[in-house]
Amino acid sequence: MTPAEGVVGPTPREFWIGLGRAFAGALIFAVPVLMTMEAWALGFHLHPLRLALLLVATVPTLVLLHKYGGFRKSVGLRDRIADAFVALLVAAIAASAILFSFGIVDADMPLREIVGKVAVQIVPGSLGASLARAQLGPSPLEGDAVPEPAYAGELFLMVVGALFLSVNIAPTEEVVLIAYKMNPWHEIALALGTLGLMHVFVYELEFRGTHNPEPGAGFVNIFFRYTIVGYCLVMLVNFYILWTFGRTDGVGFSETLSAVVVLSFPGALGAAVARLIL
């Protein structure tokens, strides 16, 4: 008997419970950006191709994420692909309902504006839906054969955590304002402090889900292979998000770097916490 033949599919009740958790996760995780005025404006002004590229890039991210946690038990690649599109649909429906309830979108608006405002909310909402089983289930993935991430898997989960927090904060004007008020020494101090917090959160405080490094790996090895590399990935993710939201248009290198460093503070914390919650 193959592993696939020995798997019993979910009952109708389990399916609806899982779907309900997905909606709950989408709402809870997307609340910050759902109630952010700058995000509403982005939906109207954002370049459609950039927004479409962000949504396209979200699909494989969700497929990989469902390998480690989703809103239901997923057996194979086909399940994970299906769940990724369900997460996107759940996020779109939840965001549409809330934005209509708030009066942010209505039937008199042009279709392009409605689609844009909803689409901005889909990325955090779909990530929330995908994390629903890990966070809103009866216990942390109880009874599930969740694979232990290898090195590449650890880095991927860091990217997901950075993406989730950063995409909620990047639309706000405060990122640009803080970057403007900081001088180079502030930026260096923030980057070093962020690296320290990122390392301590994952490797020193012994939270549930803390990553266990390879036997014999010393501080320097762990710091450079995980913390430094993870922080660099966080910065790349945040540069991409800022570019998507038009925050780098007409801005010089130093100003862009300042904004990336500022956004990488919450992004790095998200990268650290992402491994702990799965």
End-to-end CA distance of the chain: 30
Residue 3 lies in a domain: no
Same domain (yes/no): 125, 168: no
- Report the pLDDT value the prediction gives residue 135, as an integer from 0 to 100: 58
Residue 198 lies in a domain: yes
66-82: average pLDDT: 72
Q: Which of 139, 172, 189 is the last residue of a domain?
A: 139
Can you give the three-state secondary structure of the chain, one letter per residue? CCCCCCCCCCCHHHHHHHHHHHHHHHHHHHHHHHCCHHHHHHHHHCCHHHHHHHHHHHHHHHHHHCCCCCCCCCCCHHHHHHHHHHHHHHHHHHHHHHHHHHCCCCCCCCHHHHHHHHHHHHHHHHHHHHCHHHHHCCCCCCCCCCCCCCHHHHHHHHHHHHHHHHHHHCCCHHHHHHHHHCCHHHHHHHHHHHHHHHHHHHHCCCCCCCCCCCCCCCHHHHHHHHHHHHHHHHHHHHHHHHHHCCCCCCCCHHHHHHHHHHHHHHHHHHHHHHHHCC
pLDDT tens-digit readout, 110-137: 888 888 889 889 988 998 888 776 555 5
In sequence order, the 6+-apart residues with CB closer than 8 A to the CB of 23 are: 90, 93, 94, 129
Residue 4 lies in a domain: no
Whole-angstrom distance, CA of residue 171 vs CA of residue 246: 9
Same domain (yes/no): 34, 60: yes
24-37: average pLDDT: 86
Residue predicted with more confidence, 153 or 210:
153
Check pLDDT > 60 for residue 262: yes
pLDDT tens-digit readout, 10-21: 567 777 777 888
pLDDT tens-digit readout, 188-207: 999 999 999 888 877 665 55
Whole-angstrom distance, CA of residue 152 vs CA of residue 102: 41
- Return the amino acid letter for 125: G
Give Cα separations from 107 to 3, 121, 161, 249 (angstroms): 49, 18, 35, 32
Residue 99 lies in a domain: yes
Residue 215, domain extent: 149-277
pTM: 0.82
Q: Which of 118, 139, 160 is the last residue of a domain?
A: 139
**How many domains are there within the chain?**
2
pLDDT tens-digit readout, 221-238: 778 888 899 999 999 999
Whole-angstrom distance, CA of residue 86 vs CA of residue 72: 11
Q: Could you tell me if 166 and 241 are in contact, meaning their C-beta atoms sit under 8 angstroms apart? A: yes
Same domain (yes/no): 163, 53: no
Q: Which of 258, 216, 221 is nearest to 239 (CA)?
A: 258
Q: Which of 105, 139, 173 is the last residue of a domain?
A: 139
Same domain (yes/no): 183, 258: yes
Same domain (yes/no): 36, 65: yes
Same domain (yes/no): 234, 272: yes
Same domain (yes/no): 50, 167: no
Residue 6 lies in a domain: no
Same domain (yes/no): 83, 182: no
Q: What is the mean pLDDT of the chain?
A: 81
Same domain (yes/no): 264, 218: yes
